[in-house]
Chains A and B, each alone.
Chain A
Amino acid sequence: MIDILRFDFPLENGCPMKRTMLLILFLVPALSFAGETVKVKVQKTTLFEKPNFFSRIIATLKFGDQLEMEEEVKDWAKVKFGRQKGYIHQSALTSTKVDMKTLLFSSSSSSGASEDEVALAGKGFTPEVERSYGRAHPEMNYALVDEIERYSVDPNSLRSFIQRGGLKVSEGQR
């Protein structure tokens, strides 16, 4: 694909090197680096000793906490949080991918792929918008939604449920 486009793209006085660079930048979507800072993008999550939902808990992390990426282990990321090291599921983290197009061409952070989830938290649909919406629509029973969200399953109870039911949990094997 790159070769086909490269040789049919006539830049005026263009050199093949420039053409190739331009094309690579368009076609290579993202790169990721160990040592990058990543952030927690969910309200609350757990730093585990091993890449396993029922491994020993090292720390509880909250939205916006910054971690240092060490390596990816299937669906998990080995990270450093202060002096502590452990594993966190990648779905709880902002992307470690760096968008080359944004990095090199865009002067703002408005491009979707690298948008910082944490920076976006105070914008758009916020608790303030929800409160205003709720006031305008009293028929919306947010108290019930809160009640549903307050219910949580105790991890020990869940582990017992899984074991006694002859089930198993993912350990980053997918």
Chain B
Amino acid sequence: MKKSLLLLLVPLFVGCATATQVATSVGVSAGYITEGQKQALDKTAVKAEKAARPVSETEEYYIGRGVAATILTRYSLYRNQTVTAYVNHVGNTVVMGSPRPYTYGGYHFAVLDTDEINAFACPGGTIFVTKGMLKMVRNEDELAAVLSHEVGHVAQKHGLQAISSARWTEVVTTLATETAKTYTAAEMAGLVDLFQGTVDDVFKTLVVNGYGREQELEADMLAIGCLKTCGYDGRQFIRVLDRLEQTSKQTSGGIFSTHPDLAERIQAAKGPCGAAARPPAPEERVIRFKKTAVSW
């Protein structure tokens, strides 16, 4: 009996309302569920299917631009050509080691002019790192560790997971009723409201509440993989987390309020990072970091 009910629920969870309706009809005729239960299951399946349509690549891009614009209302952009170029070179190197090196609008790295220690990954690939974070890292491998963690959030679309499912269901439902690509003023106003709500959902997670424990751990594992693929020293990832944890004992707010589980993350990263000694970084890598670091 239980297994049969499980079967009825399979299509519900895989998001195919029509398949659910087939299965529930069978369930009614076999006497396992009542007509009322069938209607409730069918209704849930339709709702789940609507919400199941994922955010498209282009929508992710526009949400990410909205989040970036919102972050830039709170922080100033640090416009230093040398620093921007260097951060983008390191960032684009780790991007090539990630499972998602291409996004609709590509990856872009920018520096925020604040001493707060933080970094933010907007959906779609715009990644901010603060001057405070740049001052905290001690070498290029550590900077690569910070950036690859943010790339991990983008690759896993963690920002999009912050969107309330109720809001996204409303977006998809609204769009499902549209037949034309042009919207009336009222429809456009509704979409703009939903867009704002979506951007706010992501912004709050990035800047105020922080990602969940699982998402942070997932981004860490991806970051360590990226670093190793690119030839950076994965052990530097732990050094960055260690330093963040030490700093968190003296400072509050910023990254320390949104990343509370540093001890657990350090523990989890130890195995994947490996303990084997590596040859020191080539002189060129050391020198270019030092030359650029004087500008932040």
Known: A44-B106, A128-B188, A168-B229. 16 other contacts (CB 8 A): A9-B4, A10-B4, A43-B106, A75-B99, A91-B100, A110-B49, A123-B175, A124-B191, A128-B183, A136-B196, A141-B72, A148-B108, A161-B93, A167-B230, A167-B231, A170-B230
Interface residues of A in 84-138 (CB under 8 A from B): 89, 91-92, 101-102, 105-107, 110-113, 115, 117, 120-130, 132-134, 136-137
* B: number of interface residues (CB 8 Å): 78
Closest chain B residue, CB of each to CB of A113: B15
The 0/1 profile, CB within 8 Å of A marked 1, for residues 10-51 of chain B is: 110011101100100010011000000000000000000110
The distance in angstroms between the C-alpha atoms of A167 and B281, with both chains bound, is 9
Beta-carbon contact of B192 and A43 below 8 Å: no
- Whether, in the assembled complex, B103 has its beta carbon less than 8 Å from a beta carbon of chain A, the answer is yes
Beta-carbon contact of A101 and B7 below 8 Å: no
Closest chain B residue, CB of each to CB of A112: B52
Known A121-B58, A125-B59: A168·B231 in contact at CB below 8 Å: yes
Which secondary structure dominates where chain B touches chain A?
helix
Q: For the side of the interface on A, what is the size category?
A: 35 or more
- Whether, in the assembled complex, A166 has its beta carbon less than 8 Å from a beta carbon of chain B, the answer is yes
- Whether, in the assembled complex, A53 has its beta carbon less than 8 Å from a beta carbon of chain B, the answer is yes
Q: Which residues of B contact A (CB under 8 A)?
A: 3-4, 6-7, 10-11, 14-16, 18-19, 22, 26, 29-30, 49-50, 52-54, 56-59, 62-63, 65-66, 68-70, 72-73, 77, 84-85, 88-89, 92-93, 96-97, 99-106, 108, 110, 126, 140, 171, 175-176, 178, 181, 183, 188-189, 191-192, 195-196, 198-199, 225, 229-232, 281-282, 284-285, 288
The distance in angstroms between the C-alpha atoms of A22 and B105, with both chains bound, is 41
Beta-carbon contact of B140 and A165 below 8 Å: yes
Beta-carbon contact of A112 and B15 below 8 Å: yes
Beta-carbon contact of B3 and A5 below 8 Å: yes
Beta-carbon contact of B68 and A145 below 8 Å: yes
Known A105-B16, A112-B53: A158·B66 in contact at CB below 8 Å: no
Provide 7 A-B residue pairs closer than 8 Å at the C-beta atoms, listed in order of the A residue: A125-B62, A125-B63, A125-B171, A129-B191, A145-B126, A147-B77, A169-B93
A13 nearest CB across to chain B (Å) = 10
- Whether, in the assembled complex, A142 has its beta carbon less than 8 Å from a beta carbon of chain B, the answer is yes
- Please give, as numbers and ranges, the residues of chain A lying within 8 Å of B4 by CB-CB distance: 8-10
The 0/1 profile, CB within 8 Å of B marked 1, for residues 1-44 of chain A is: 00011001111100000000011011101000000000001111
Known A164-B284, A170-B96, A174-B229: A41·B104 in contact at CB below 8 Å: yes
- Please give, as numbers and ranges, the residues of chain B lying within 8 Å of A120 by CB-CB distance: 56, 58-59
- Whether, in the assembled complex, A57 has its beta carbon less than 8 Å from a beta carbon of chain B, the answer is no
Beta-carbon contact of B52 and A111 below 8 Å: yes
Beta-carbon contact of A142 and B65 below 8 Å: yes
Known A89-B102, A129-B195, A161-B89: A26·B11 in contact at CB below 8 Å: yes
Closest chain A residue, CB of each to CB of B58: A121
The distance in angstroms between the C-alpha atoms of A26 and B97, with both chains bound, is 34
B20 nearest CB across to chain A (Å) = 9
The distance in angstroms between the C-alpha atoms of A64 and B191, with both chains bound, is 24
Beta-carbon contact of B77 and A144 below 8 Å: yes
- Whether, in the assembled complex, A59 has its beta carbon less than 8 Å from a beta carbon of chain B, the answer is no
Known A132-B192, A141-B73, A145-B68: A89·B101 in contact at CB below 8 Å: yes
- Please give, as numbers and ranges, the residues of chain B lying within 8 Å of A29 by CB-CB distance: 14
Closest chain B residue, CB of each to CB of A157: B89
Q: Which 10 A-B pairs have the closest CB atoms?
A: A166-B282, A92-B102, A140-B69, A112-B52, A120-B56, A167-B231, A165-B285, A125-B62, A91-B102, A105-B18
